[in-house]
Amino acid sequence: MINAVIVDDEPINISNLQSLLTKYCPSIKIVGIAGSVDEACAVIEKVNPDVIFLDIEMPQKNGFELLKYFKNPQFDVVFVTAYDSYGIQAIKFSALDYLLKPINIDELKTAVEKIELSLTNKTHQTRLANLMELLENKLPLDHKKIALPSQKETLFVLVQDILRCESSNNYTTFFLTDGTVHVISKPIYEYEEMLKPFGFIRCHQSHLVNKRHVVSILNEDSGYLILAHTDQKIPISRQRKQYVKEALKG
């Protein structure tokens, strides 16, 4: 069984999540609930849970402040929020899971499956540490890392070391500057959203490139991007050609 604590300032939200977990996620055992960060810290220290279902927006202190209380957290976290905004970018970068209210049953089941895998691989501490570094915004752009999760491990790579990403259905292949390749079971549009602020350009339906590694545009067909560290040509779609040229000027 996976011991869980639910932290939310709204009793009705706690009751709803309890019901859903009991009905659809039999591997989860709820061992504590809390309505505030201070109460949650006391409960967590007492029951030592495997996972916390943590509301982000709460009065006085938010969910992220709870994590700061624990220097070496031994639990995993699933964030629960009514807004697809606050802190979500950092959560995605760290490959942590989150649920939007009202909670979708299939998304809840998927989150629990990820918890089981995370606890087996013991990756939660590194992901939480990466999250806190991103939230505190102390890292320069070149030192920010993104988590690339697979079934065997979660790899953390510097954003600057990503050459490009290539789509294949619901999978995204990452090509790094050291020549390594990593296939991740997430669609490319999710990474486009995450990496756009870091200078990544969607030059084609199937390709996302780090513009800091672009050395030239080859004027064949609708155009190709030539990247440093590789002799591969990355196609530019006709619809995106002007956008790509403008983006490379910035």
- Domains of the chain by range and CATH? 2-135 (3.40.50.2300), 157-249 (2.40.50.1020)
**So what's the pLDDT on residue 84?**
72
Q: For 153, phi and psi rounded to 5 degrees? A: -160, 170
> How would you write the chain as a 3-class SS string?
CEEEEEECCCHHHHHHHHHHHHHHCCCEEEEEEECCHHHHHHHHHHHCCCEEEEECCCCCCCHHHHHHHCCCCCCEEEEEECCCCCCHHHHHHCCCEEEECCCCHHHHHHHHHHHHHHHHHCCHHHHHHHHHHHHHCCCCHHHCEEEEECCCCEEEEEHHHEEEEEEECCEEEEEECCCCEEEECCCHHHHHHHHHHHCEEEEECCEEEEHHHEEEEECCCCCEEEECCCCCEEECCHHHHHHHHHHHHC
When the pLDDT of each residue in the chain is averaged and rounded to a whole number, the result is 92
Q: Is 90 exceeded by the pLDDT of residue 122?
A: no
Q: 11-32 pLDDT, tens per residue?
A: 999 999 999 999 999 999 999 9
Q: Is 80 exceeded by the pLDDT of residue 120?
A: no
Task: Report residue 71's pLDDT band, with 50, 70 and 90 as the boundaries.
Answer: confident
**Rounded-to-integer distance, Cα 191 and Cα 93, Å:** 9
Using a cut of 0.75, tell me whether the model's pTM lies above it. Answer: yes
**So what's the pLDDT on residue 179?**
93
Q: 198-245 pLDDT, tens per residue?
A: 999 999 999 999 999 999 999 888 899 999 988 789 999 999 999 999
Instruction: Lowest mean pLDDT of 117-131, 169-183, 205-219, name the range.
Output: 117-131
Instruction: Lowest mean pLDDT of 15-29, 75-89, 139-153, 219-233, name the range.
Output: 139-153
